[in-house]
Structure 1
């Protein structure tokens, strides 16, 4: 009898040991994200979700913004700037290849950059590179970028998802089947469901720890809750009102994620009555920013902003008191500008928490000062086409997630339709700076100009939070670039 008990106990210990080993050596992750991008190539789509999935995982740029917001080398090992500020020389890494075996070299890098700036380019950040006059190579690992005007921000621009390096043989199919140089390879895209990645065993740098990763698209709040409850996903990028309850579960933890996102009520400056400065200023007085701070729930505390830069940036200027909430003043300003009560305007809202909950409050504030507001619910693809590309809108509530993106206000063709020679002159001086001190001074001047012109109603920065299984570690807790970098993520005991 004793021998039988001993044998049974040994079997139980063996099974428990096997279970523990299996649980502690899991090598995959399933991550829930809110939006499915229309394409997986961030060089051809403005959808942030494309970079969320592929940046630093499938695709890499010459430079990279790391988890601390620092500019670091990636496919370029070093770079220098000529004394006149007009030539950047990049030294590229050797022995790097794409996932299909194609080599990476200076010719490929030159092709990628020429593709960004070329005629007919679909690159959403093309304007970042408009100072480039020519690109040449002196050997397989040396790339020279010639400028017709100084651009102190070019190495930063090369770290954006829209500037990742692609190969000429696979560029045309990257939207559906991305091929890059990163630590993960694309495996499959189940439309409406998920994107699957697998580890790149031939990666030039430090190998990823995980063998596989899936980005699962959360189609509804109820579906997200069910998947978390049933353990069908291991975490969620960006906690929402509906999923905040799971932060109390012992098997999950909330991981703060510092992004440079800016929620704005974007205004079509080229469409009446918003082409009138007094009308735009009236909008800034009409919106109760403090009344929007709870749209993500009680646990998320957004930070008010007064221009297009976040409080953590060293150049940030506090302009939050520039337009006090004053609906009576706003109504009078609208009357003085000739805007009659009952003027119909349309507010376009994307399918996000801020769209669902914030849109109703924005509409209420606008109706309180005399407007009649029609809410237009659009999906992400519709927003990109109608609002971002065709500029067919009055107002839209939208989160801008790119860091250091004030350059968009110097673009003639951007969807704000803001065309201001003074701001363009300021931005030209920003690009000509050579020291961080001078750069921050000029960025401060740019912020003040945008606030004075009330280009948009600047609302707040939302502190992002990820909800992840407690046994997962290795996340980038600060991520100025909107991306979910997988390379160091691993399961712990």
Structure 2
């Protein structure tokens, strides 16, 4: 029998056949190949990775930022002070920062951006991250003061995810979806639907000497094999955030380098707990027992990852090991017993909405088989990305399987996702005890106390919450050897592209 690795290496060799004998002269623009088109480009509205990777840190920036090691560093604010009661944050803005459409960024733009995220009419998935903000003051053009209702441990991290846009878009929810306008090192140039999005260098960027590229072209290439051939031939310079099987196929190819890291993003099955029988905690626990997460890692991630609980293992200060959750040990008999105790008659018929990505489609097929073993029949629905996002937002699903971005701060994920009425609580889940924990987690500033709080929150969510937590993957970026200065980020951001240059 031919081993998987041997098969993949042979496949990679086959892909390289017919590649150009010599790589063409490098252009000053970076050619990036990605698997899908964005669903939009408004940084306060979009949720899909396909949007995030194009605009985060390239077109848009926040008051704070994360470096490659996930440390909070200054962004559009040069620094900040925090009052003794930890309820007043005063930010000093960079002087002379300009927007791509013209005009200097001032405190009024910052205040308008934060208000836009908080506005109910915007429907921003980031709104929950600013619920502690009681008032925003702008005493002068370069000073922003945030008054909080209570201390907020995650605030500085949250602000790294909230882009600053011109105040003129405060009530405009259409323009930025098609024509982004930020302060970042690259500015929007062109969008050919399902073909390419082009960015060009921002000649007026505030950070001296950056960007080093003339531009970036995000080529929309759905087929993994086509992306790989394009990289080996020199048509593309970089394939960001690819999975283990694609990385293995490219490993060792002439002129190709691979970077990797354990990511913060997580795969999950979300449950609409307003729909019977998913409203029953025993049913949700049974579904957990039906899942063999090691099989998912092998089948969908080709071994490049690990089973994951509510928080990424990369968050060593907070994540509870999955070995501590009984329901993470596969047990079909236990699952059937729980369904019987819940008074549920099998077979159960449910629909599974699937994010249209290779890894999530593979997971959906494995899950379909695992659920069938306990009498749960699942029908797969794999729409295009725009329809997936719409159905997800509107809670039009029994189950969905997806890949979601993670952050360094548990509150950024838990509060908006699991708090009653949270901005991304599409599960319609409500748990008063968990709500109290999440409120305490964002106001408590002592690390040890927060660890205790989030341990209890994870224990609450792991087995009978509205999510079946699946895996955390190793992510890879494949690039031509001529790409200098690229750093892979665990949160999938391509912010490091501003420091990238192309050699000969």
Alignment of 1:157-236 (within 5 A): 157-160=158-161, 163-169=162-168, 172=172, 173-206=175-208, 207-236=210-239
| Deviation by residue 1:32-63 (Cα, 9 ceiling, x = unmatched) | 11221121122121122222111111111101
* Structure 1 residue corresponding to 2:306, chosen from 281, 303, 307: 303
Alignment of 1:335-354 (within 5 A): 335-354=340-359
Greater shift, 119-128 or 67-76, is seen at: 119-128
Alignment of 1:142-157 (within 5 A): 142-157=143-158
Task: Provide TM-score, normalisation by structure 2.
Answer: 0.88
The answer to whether the 8 A contact 1:305-1:458 is kept is yes
Task: Name the SS for the 1:174 alignment partner.
Answer: helix
Q: 2:258 matched to 1:254? A: yes
**Which residue is 2:89 aligned to?**
88
Q: What's the offset of the Cα at 1:187? A: 1.0
**Which residue is 2:490 aligned to?**
479
**Which residue is 1:238 aligned to?**
241
**Which residue is 2:115 aligned to?**
114
Task: Provide TM-score, normalisation by structure 1.
Answer: 0.90
Greater shift, 83-92 or 242-251, is seen at: 242-251
- In structure 2, distance between residues paired with 1:62 and 1:266: 32
Q: What's the offset of the Cα at 1:321? A: 4.5
Alignment of 1:45-444 (within 5 A): 45-160=46-161, 163-169=162-168, 172=172, 173-206=175-208, 207-240=210-243, 241=245, 244-296=248-300, 298=302, 300-322=303-325, 323=327, 324-387=329-392, 389-403=393-407, 404=409, 405-407=413-415, 408-413=417-422, 414-444=425-455
| Deviation by residue 1:66-95 (Cα, 9 ceiling, x = unmatched) | 111011111111112222222211111111
The answer to whether the 8 A contact 1:304-1:320 is kept is no
Q: Tell me: CA distance 1:471–1:383, structure 2 relative to 1, closer, same or farther (3 Å).
A: same
Q: Tell me: CA distance 1:64–1:242, structure 2 relative to 1, closer, same or farther (3 Å).
A: closer
The answer to whether the 8 A contact 2:273-2:466 is kept is yes
The answer to whether the 8 A contact 2:247-2:258 is kept is no
Q: Tell me: CA distance 1:91–1:481, structure 2 relative to 1, closer, same or farther (3 Å).
A: farther
**Which residue is 2:17 aligned to?**
none
Task: Name the SS for the 2:167 alignment partner.
Answer: coil
Q: Which blocks of at least 5 consecutive residues in structure 1 are unaligned?
A: 1-19
- In structure 2, distance between residues paired with 1:72 and 1:411: 31
- In structure 2, distance between residues paired with 1:71 and 1:381: 32
| Deviation by residue 1:177-231 (Cα, 9 ceiling, x = unmatched) | 1111111111111110111111111111131111111111122234324433443
| Deviation by residue 1:337-382 (Cα, 9 ceiling, x = unmatched) | 1221221111111111222211111011101001121111122111
Task: Name the SS for the 2:46 alignment partner.
Answer: coil
- In structure 2, distance between residues paired with 1:418 and 1:360: 26
The answer to whether the 8 A contact 1:305-1:311 is kept is no
**Which residue is 2:481 aligned to?**
470
- In structure 2, distance between residues paired with 1:65 and 1:313: 17
- In structure 1, distance between residues paired with 2:164 and 2:92: 15
Q: What's the offset of the Cα at 1:326? A: 0.3
Q: Which blocks of at least 5 consecutive residues in structure 2 are unaligned?
A: 1-21
Task: Name the SS for the 1:372 alignment partner.
Answer: strand
- In structure 2, distance between residues paired with 1:293 and 1:116: 36
Q: Tell me: CA distance 1:319–1:221, structure 2 relative to 1, closer, same or farther (3 Å).
A: closer
| Deviation by residue 1:448-480 (Cα, 9 ceiling, x = unmatched) | 221253432111101111111112121222333
**Which residue is 2:466 aligned to?**
455
Q: Tell me: CA distance 1:360–1:396, structure 2 relative to 1, closer, same or farther (3 Å).
A: same
Task: Name the SS for the 1:428 alignment partner.
Answer: helix
**Which residue is 1:40 aligned to?**
41
Q: What's the offset of the Cα at 1:327? A: 0.5
Task: Name the SS for the 2:401 alignment partner.
Answer: strand
Task: Name the SS for the 1:95 alignment partner.
Answer: coil
Q: What's the offset of the Cα at 1:125? A: 1.1
Greater shift, 289-298 or 121-130, is seen at: 289-298
Greater C-alpha radius of gyration: 1
**Which residue is 1:12 aligned to?**
none
Q: Tell me: CA distance 1:321–1:353, structure 2 relative to 1, closer, same or farther (3 Å).
A: farther
- In structure 2, distance between residues paired with 1:236 and 1:219: 12
Q: What's the offset of the Cα at 1:484? A: 4.9
Q: Tell me: CA distance 1:411–1:251, structure 2 relative to 1, closer, same or farther (3 Å).
A: farther
**Which residue is 2:503 aligned to?**
492
- Paired residue total: 468
Cα RMSD between the aligned structures? Answer: 2.0
Task: Name the SS for the 1:445 alignment partner.
Answer: helix
**Which residue is 1:6 aligned to?**
none
The answer to whether the 8 A contact 1:347-1:394 is kept is yes
Q: What's the offset of the Cα at 1:426? A: 0.6
- In structure 1, distance between residues paired with 2:230 and 2:53: 20
Task: Name the SS for the 2:117 alignment partner.
Answer: helix
Q: Tell me: CA distance 1:457–1:35, structure 2 relative to 1, closer, same or farther (3 Å).
A: same
- In structure 2, distance between residues paired with 1:70 and 1:252: 29
Q: What's the offset of the Cα at 1:481? A: 5.2
The answer to whether the 8 A contact 2:301-2:359 is kept is no
The answer to whether the 8 A contact 2:269-2:402 is kept is yes
- In structure 1, distance between residues paired with 2:444 and 2:169: 37
